[in-house]
Every structure is written in C-alpha cells, then in structure tokens.
Amino acid sequence: MGAPDSSTLQTLLDLAVSWGRVGVVGFGGGPAMIPLMKAECIDLRGWLDDDQFLEAIALCYTLPGPISAKMSIHVGLQVAGWAGAAVAFAAVMAPSGMLMVALAGLYLRFREHPAVHGAMAAVKPVALGLLVWTVIGLAPEGAKSWQTVFIAIAAIAALYLKVHPALVIVAAMLGGAIFLR
C-alpha cells in the first residue's frame, strides 16, 4: 500500500479544517450546529448539495448521538472514505472535548458570577436564531410536495404533544416508505 497522493492529503486536510471549525464554533450543540455544517459542506466546500444535506441530516436523526459526530462521519466517508470519516470525526469532537476539559474547572468556580450568567443568557437566543435561519434556508428543499409539508406539520404536532422524537422519526420513515415512493 503506497502513500496517499497530494489530492487525498489535501482532501483530508480540508475535512479536518472544516469539521474542526464546526467543532470549535458549534455552540449550542444539536440543531444549532446545522447551519455551521451546511455552510462548510455546501456553501464553502461543495461536498453536498441541499438535497444530499437534508437526506444526511434525516439519516443522522434516525440514530442516537450528537448530530455533528454523525454528520462528520457521513460526509467524511462520502468525500474521502474511511480515512475521511475518521479525520472528520476526530476534528469535530476534539475541540469541544479539549475545551470542556479546560473550561469545566473555570465554570464550576465562577458559575455564579453575573458575567457568566450574562454570557450564557446571550448564547441561547443566538442558537435559536441559527436554527430558525437553517429551517428557513432548507424549507424549500424539504417541502417539495403537499405530502412532505403534511409530514412536517404532523411531526411538529406530535412533538408538541410530547411524542418521543424517535417515534416521530420512525413513523415518518414508515409513512414515507409507504406513501412517498
């Protein structure tokens, strides 16, 4: 087995930089990271188009665990095989892991300080804004027919009624397999 060529190394470096950036600035976790992943995977790198991105998000939501970890593996695998999956996963998880270790002690020591309360209060609406912006941007691709709009509304209603998200996802998958062929 020979050494990887320069284009493969460049692709792995691009994966590391992009997913490292998501890992460093992905405050709020979960859905708040989706706009960052979209920016890296679609807008900056062109690794996926909108439809592929939505399909990847949907697939990743069917599995347990952090969305960024699952998306990094999915995109890394698609772009550069298993090496890409490993690099992207390590890049997205390492920053938060290292930052958590570094900041946990400081937070525990100063968590009652007014500045810490203010900083945390300011980050929450930003995460909400990022999520809303992503929904607005992806809605046209996800709402291609009245059936998909109906599924989205039914999912929102089910979540409002406190149906477990996993059941909502499974029900949507079954409904899609039957009615959206």
Quick check: is 82 in a domain? yes
Quick check: is 127 in a domain? yes
Same-domain status, 123 and 149: no
Q: How many domains does the chain have?
A: 2
Same-domain status, 162 and 92: no
Report the pLDDT value the prediction gives residue 16, as an integer from 0 to 100. 97
Q: Would you say residue 4 has pLDDT above 70?
A: no
- The half-sphere exposure of 63 on its side-chain side, counting CA atoms within 13 A, is 13
151 is in which domain, residue-wise?
143-181
Report the pLDDT value the prediction gives residue 135, as an integer from 0 to 100. 81
Asked if residues 36 and 20 have their Cβ atoms less than 8 Å apart, the reply is no
Same-domain status, 95 and 152: no
Asked if residues 179 and 154 have their Cβ atoms less than 8 Å apart, the reply is no
Give Cβ neighbours of residue 141 (< 8 Å, ≥ 6 apart): 50, 51, 54
Same-domain status, 134 and 53: yes
Q: Which of 28-37, 76-85, 140-149, 156-165 has the highest mean pLDDT?
A: 76-85
Whole-prediction pTM? 0.65
Q: Would you say residue 1 has pLDDT above 70?
A: no
- 81 or 138: whose pLDDT is higher? 81
The pLDDT tens digits for 29-88 are 777 788 999 999 999 999 999 999 999 998 998 888 889 999 999 999 999 999 999 999
- The half-sphere exposure of 51 on its side-chain side, counting CA atoms within 13 A, is 1
In angstroms, the CA 86 to CA 94 distance is 12
Same-domain status, 46 and 80: yes
Same-domain status, 107 and 148: no
